[in-house]
Amino acid sequence: MALANKPGQKPVVWSISGSDCSGGAGIAADIKTGHGLGVEVCCLITANTVQNSQQVLNINPVNIDILQQQVDILLEDKPPGVIKIGLVANSYQLNWLALTLGKLKQQLPGLKVIYDPVGQASAGGVLSSLTSRDISALLPLVDVLTPNLQEAQTLTGLNQISAAELAQAVTRLGAKACIIKGGHKPGNSCDDYCLDSGVNYAPQAGENGISYRLTSPRYDTSYSHGGGCSFASALSAFIAHGYLLRDALTLTKAFINQGLSACQGINDYYGAFEQLGWPAGPEYFPKVMFDNGAGLNGAFAPLGIRRPAPREALKPGGKRLGLYPVIDSLAWLERLLPLGLEIIQLRIKNTEPDQLEQMVADAVKMARAHNTRLFINDHWQLAIKYQAYGVHLGQEDLHEADLAQIQAAGLRLGISTHGCYEFLLAQQLKPSYLAIGAIYDTQTKDMTGQIQGLENLSQLLTLATDIPVVAIGGINLERAADVWQTGVDSLAVVTAITRTADLEQAVRHFRHIMTG
């Protein structure tokens, strides 16, 4: 996805919410957040509220005729990528909104709707008299609902159940995804729980979607008026930029943590949340809670320079790994091994089990004879059986493979990631390398919705630790220098090797780029 921050290229978010005259919440929060995150915010104001840090005096709903005129005129030249809904002040507005969203969704097929069900001001005071029954009429049109724990309980009428069960109850009411925010729950950490039943393309999502928890330490500050609105508007902005929900939420949490951290320790004045723009440091990013039952404590072995020493130093002398061909046959291996590459992957798809086993056995023997590090894609049991140098696993495989067994057998592990959510998740397993893809569109595999681009790759590299990073997807000789200059440790390629007319020359050119 491209981060279109330049004027004229900004994604458009419509904010349908109330004005807060004290400046912290509602439309004010949405505009400040949108400005910081490179989206254009169009404002459809539902109410002109009278409030300060202590109380809400009046709501003053806006007539739906005015809202309808605004929809009509904006559709002419600023159609939305995302609609963010905040305060819906009365049932007229709610009914109008349900009708209007239904029409807009038909007219604009990619449109996403994010709804932050604002009922109460954080200073105290009721902002909307709508009942949960009223609100539930809107939910089938909502892609992501962002209630806090209390709002989710009110909406579903369910108490004393976990965030996971609450999120399920909310999605049963019609919302495609639900994020239960943990900001108001006491404790040292702040956990947000997400159930995504299919808002975005997510290859590992099962029938019931994916669920996860993002956790961060709690920031001690009451300087957070408008934090809830800013959360939903940041999420809207990231989704408008084209991020998958899981990445948009991870970035949103980092955005919120960054704002709260700027006011850490300030508790004597009830001020507005600080919208500081794009998250600028790894310290603001949450931990992605993940459990595949492997119970791993340690790290996988680093990428030693040559077999067979099992625990050699990571990238000795700071040497980057360079070219990483990903091939599917012994014939390719035979041609590549004499060229003295540091690392090769055998990626075999759709081959009969006996033939597959023989191929893995032979490949391991051949690579060992050339002291080349051979990773086996997918087939981790065979990799262990024949003592390959390493295993490469995709995100889906992480839930099925026995990582503890791979680690105990002394094999290295490489993991594919596609965005900050997967990157942070995989980083916790301390693999031998992390792959990021797809950098560009690729002919080799359907990577719809997961193209990172150089900008996103560079941002992900700011989250990297000392684990080497491999870039993959659409990399060829013309693009190699740009990708290499981001600072990745390796370029993994399929077609740039397998479709070249002159293999030796292609390898030589790649090497030249990577030493330059």
Ligand X SMILES: Cc1nc(C(=O)O)sc1CCOP(=O)(O)O
- Please report how close the Cβ of residue 194 comes to ligand X at its closest, in angstroms: 23
By C-beta, is 10 or 392 nearer to ligand LCLJCK34? 392
Q: Which amino acid is at 409?
A: A
Q: Is 116 annotated as a binding residue?
A: no
Are 307 and 472 spatial neighbours (Cβ–Cβ below 8 Å)?
no
Report d(CA 444, CA 347) in Å as an integer.
12
Report d(CA 450, CA 204) in Å as an integer.
13
Residue 444 binds which of ligand LCLJCK34, Mg ion, ligand X, none (CB < 5-8 A, kind-dependent): ligand X
Report d(CA 369, CA 239) in Å as an integer.
49
Q: Is 347 annotated as a binding residue?
A: yes
Residues at the site binding ligand X, with contacts judged by CB under 6 A = 416, 418, 437-438, 442-445, 447, 472-475, 493-496
By C-beta, is 184 or 445 nearer to ligand LCLJCK34? 445
Distances (CA, A) of 168 to 24, 161, 177, 194, 248: 31, 11, 9, 10, 20
Q: Is 185 annotated as a binding residue?
A: no
- Closest to 225 measured CA to CA, from 254, 253, 267, 255: 267
Are 423 and 438 spatial neighbours (Cβ–Cβ below 8 Å)?
no
- Please report how close the Cβ of residue 454 comes to ligand X at its closest, in angstroms: 14
Q: Is 495 annotated as a binding residue?
A: yes
Q: Is 346 annotated as a binding residue?
A: yes
Residues at the site binding ligand LCLJCK34, with contacts judged by CB under 6 A = 324, 326, 345, 347, 377-378, 392-394, 414, 416, 435, 437, 445, 470, 472, 492
Residues near 7 by Cβ (< 8 Å), separated by ≥ 6?
none
- Please report how close the Cβ of residue 343 comes to ligand X at its closest, in angstroms: 15
Report d(CA 230, CA 225) in Å as an integer.
9
Report d(CA 146, CA 180) in Å as an integer.
6
Residues near 13 by Cβ (< 8 Å), separated by ≥ 6?
30, 34, 39, 40, 41, 42, 80, 81, 82, 83, 84, 233, 236, 237, 240
Q: Is 351 annotated as a binding residue?
A: no
Are 93 and 23 spatial neighbours (Cβ–Cβ below 8 Å)?
no
By C-beta, is 370 or 385 nearer to Mg ion? 385
Q: Is 78 annotated as a binding residue?
A: no
By C-beta, is 49 or 417 nearer to ligand LCLJCK34? 417
Q: Is 113 annotated as a binding residue?
A: no
By C-beta, is 24 or 431 nearer to ligand X? 431
By C-beta, is 152 or 447 nearer to ligand LCLJCK34? 447
Residue 3 binds which of Mg ion, ligand X, ligand LCLJCK34, none (CB < 5-8 A, kind-dependent): none
Residue 345 binds which of ligand X, ligand LCLJCK34, Mg ion, none (CB < 5-8 A, kind-dependent): ligand LCLJCK34
Edge-to-edge strand ranges of the sheet holding 82-85:
56-58, 40-51, 12-20, 82-85, 112-115, 144-145, 177-180, 189-196, 210-217, 287-289
Burial class (CB in 10 A: 0-12, 13-18, 19+), 479: middle
Q: Is 397 annotated as a binding residue?
A: yes
Residue 470 binds which of ligand LCLJCK34, Mg ion, ligand X, none (CB < 5-8 A, kind-dependent): ligand LCLJCK34
Residues at the site binding Mg ion, with contacts judged by CB under 5 A = 377-378, 394
Is cis: bond before 438, omega within 30 of 0?
yes
Phi first, then psi, for residue 407 (nearest 5°) are: -65, -45
- Please report how close the Cβ of residue 378 comes to Mg ion at its closest, in angstroms: 4
By C-beta, is 11 or 431 nearer to ligand LCLJCK34? 431
Residue 100 binds which of Mg ion, ligand LCLJCK34, ligand X, none (CB < 5-8 A, kind-dependent): none
Q: Is 358 annotated as a binding residue?
A: no
Report d(CA 87, CA 44) in Å as an integer.
11
- Please report how close the Cβ of residue 114 comes to ligand X at its closest, in angstroms: 27
- Please report how close the Cβ of residue 426 comes to ligand X at its closest, in angstroms: 12
**Which helix (H) or strand (E) element contains residue 480?**
helix 477-484
Q: Is 345 annotated as a binding residue?
A: yes
Q: Is 443 annotated as a binding residue?
A: yes
By C-beta, is 61 or 468 nearer to ligand X? 468
By C-beta, is 44 or 391 nearer to Mg ion? 391
- Please report how close the Cβ of residue 198 comes to ligand LCLJCK34 at its closest, in angstroms: 20
Are 327 and 333 spatial neighbours (Cβ–Cβ below 8 Å)?
yes
By C-beta, is 132 or 329 nearer to ligand X? 329
Q: Is 103 annotated as a binding residue?
A: no
- Please report how close the Cβ of residue 112 comes to Mg ion at its closest, in angstroms: 30
Residue 250 binds which of ligand LCLJCK34, ligand X, Mg ion, none (CB < 5-8 A, kind-dependent): none
Parallel, antiparallel, or unpaired for β 177-180 and 144-145?
parallel
When CB distances to ligand X are compared, the closest residue is: 437
- Please report how close the Cβ of residue 473 comes to ligand X at its closest, in angstroms: 3
Residue matched to tokens 């559709």? 75
Residue 25 binds which of Mg ion, ligand X, ligand LCLJCK34, none (CB < 5-8 A, kind-dependent): none
Q: Residue 222, CB half-sphere, CA atoms under 13 Å: how many?
A: 8
Residue matched to tokens 């495989």? 397
Report d(CA 104, CA 212) in Å as an integer.
30
- Please report how close the Cβ of residue 416 comes to ligand X at its closest, in angstroms: 4
Which residues are annotated as part of the binding site for Mg(2+)?
Answer: 378, 397
Which residues are annotated as part of the binding site?
Answer: 345-349, 377-378, 397, 416, 442-445, 474, 494-495
